[in-house]
Structure 1
Amino acid sequence: MNPEQPAPPPGPDRGTRAEDRPARLDIGVVGTGRVGPALAAALRLAGHRPVAASGVSERSRRRAAELLPGVPLVDPAEVLARADLVLLTVPDDALPGLVTGLAETGAVRQGQLVAHTSGRYGAAVLQPVLRAGGLPLALHPVMTFTGTPVDVQRLAGCSFGVTAPEELRLAAQALVIEMGGEPEWIAEEARPLYHAALAIGANHLVTLVNQAMELLRTSGVEAPDRMLGPLLGAALDNALRSGDAALTGPVARGDAGTVSAHISELGDHAPRMVAGYLAMARATADRALAHGLLAPERAEDLLDVLSEGGRGQ
């Protein structure tokens, strides 16, 4: 083995069939939303053994039953009592309180691996776990989850934002690799910026796509998803390959008249979308100018139109 590559946790050769490998870690999941069951199912494929999970809503319980059949649903303290590796897969705002409560009630054991999947937080939020003798890991899968078995397959090649104490770095990376993912080390202080970048790219994309589909339906298009699919797929591919050089459209060209018409039509048919259009148009104009795609003399009229559109809101 290359000494620079992270070693997998102790266990049999990964080339053997999963059903022939003894489980190396007992896995527990606290929070059976969309993420936790998928990660536990992926670890099961790697030879580990999910042994307990906790979930509150009926939907989360059904999800656990589908992705983790036979795994009992118990309270969070019991999950920790049964597991060597605990996945805390709860909403960001609930994570600090959950961690503190588990540590203060003595649920965390000496040497127990405790990993959360929040993008916002690094390992510092798990300080109560560390003080209780646990081993803290931040393993954030950079993927949107559906809560269905397809998520397990989508983990193949998925990047994970990994933050952990230096002595646990190889263990964290090895777990990600066993789930089929690609570990990417994120410094503790960079976690909020890292998460903001992902939110801009993924969350806002969903809003933009659905706004575009809504407007196309209003304009009479019967299958807006079919119309947008090739266009947006090409735009995403071009952006990832070429960066700002992929900018196109009326804003990047400085077509002030076209942009003015857009603002007018949105004001008539979808006034709630005008503010978002203006904000994205200004950001696009700034990037096109900086990249030399938008000539300064054309930018002046364009920016006047955007400014007038903003005053009309």
Structure 2
Amino acid sequence: MKVGFIGAGKVGFSLGKYLADNNQKVIGYYSEFKEDAKEASKFTNSAYYTDVELLVKDSEIVFITVPDGVIEKVWSSIKHFSLSGKIICHTSGALSSEVFSDISKRGGFGFSIHPLFAVSDKYSSYKELSKSYFTVEGSEEKINFVKQWLESFGNNVCVISKENKVKYHASAAIASNLVVGLISLSEQLLLECGFDKDSADTALAPIIRGNVEHCLNDGCSAALTGPIERNDTTTVLKHLKTLSGNSKEIYKAVSRQVLDVAKNKNKDRDYSEMEDILK
């Protein structure tokens, strides 16, 4: 497939390189930020386009890899081009293909294609995309084609509905961004206890990795340990007493979710006192 990119940020870099490494014809990049497009084209051994209409003309699939707030603007700027038979995609986790208004009337097919993966570096993240689960939402006429195209690279692919896009993205944010926030809070508390940054990271690494691996291999219920699971209200009260402000609210909010897991694991245990503490 001939694939062109409008936008040359981290996702555009990474996805373009990944597709090129999987024997797809990445034709090139167009961007308002010319130096980024030049750099991305060099990185993927493709062309730098100064004319977005020519890029669309030369492409069978066009990826719009720009920030969410700009996708509709980009679509408005290209929707009057000749789009017959072309697949137009964005990579937003939260937006659906509905952003491509009237695309079917123009003979094109609109999709949201999202790798469930935190793209953190434009030069190296492509190496890990082979492990990423992709979600696809869009035109029913071409949905199976797009799904099979992505699967041909060895990726797992899930088709989701437009109604579930935001909930799906919330799930991704919890597993990625919010976990970063919790680790940051844990690190902060250790620094307050006298650890230096390196020691805090070294101390936390085994418990973070161990918990994640246990959750993924054995399930969250089996992985859960600690004072909430064993219904140790005394320790939880001590935790709450030593915390304050935002840290305390985060502890309580996440602990209520942990309590749900504990209840599911120990159905015969009375957690009513713990529930009252965490309100």
Q: Please, which of 246, 264, 267 is the counterpart of residue 223 of structure 2?
A: 246
Kindly tell me: are residues 138 and 304 of structure 1, through their superposed partners in 2, closer, same or farther at Cα, counting changes over 3 Å? closer
Residue 241 (structure 2) pairs with residue 264 (structure 1)? yes
- Aligned position for 2:275: 303
Cα RMSD, aligned residues only: 2.5
Matching of residues 162-311 of structure 1 within 5 Å: 162-222=136-196, 223-240=199-216, 241-267=218-244, 271-292=245-266, 295-296=269-270, 299-307=271-279
Unmatched tracts of structure 1, length 5 or more: 1-24, 308-313
* Gap change, CA 1:225 and 1:137, over 3 Å in 2: same
CA contact (8 A) 1:285 1:294 kept: no
Q: Secondary structure at the match of 1:120?
A: coil
Displacement of 1:136 in angstroms is: 1.9
Question: Structure 1, residues 254-286: CA drift from partner, whole Å, max 9, x if none?
Answer: 22221122222222xxx3211111101122123
CA distance in 2 between counterparts of 1:247 and 1:257 reads 18
- Structure 2 residue runs of 5 or longer lacking an equivalent are none
Distance 1:301 1:109 in 2: 62
Matches of 1:287 and 1:230 in 2, distance apart? 22
- 282-291 or 62-71, which moves further after superposition? 62-71
Q: 1:42 aligns with which of 18, 30, 37?
A: 18
The offset of 1:60, in angstroms, is: 4.2
> How far does the alpha carbon of each residue in 1:41-80 deviate from its partner, in whole angstroms, 9 at most, with x for none?
1221222222231334588458625633453153544432
CA distance in 2, matches of 1:289, 1:59: 55
1:144 aligns with 2:118: yes
Cα separation, 2, equivalents of 1:131 and 1:147: 37
- Structure 1 length normalisation: TM-score? 0.79
Q: Is the 8 A contact 1:67 1:148 kept in 2?
A: no
Return the offset for 1:187.
Answer: 2.4
Structure 1 residues 127, 49: closer, same or farther in 2, change over 3 A? Answer: same
2:133–2:156 Cα contact (<8 Å) kept: yes
**Is contact 2:37-2:48 (8 Å) kept?**
no
Q: Is 1:33–1:63's contact at 8 Å kept on the other side of the alignment?
A: no
Aligned length: 276
Structure 2 length-normalised TM: 0.87
Structure-1 residue corresponding to 2:57? 81
Taking the aligned partners of 2:154 and 2:18, their CA distance within structure 1 comes to 8
Deviation, 1:127, is 3.6
User: 1:235, CA displacement in angstroms?
Assistant: 0.7
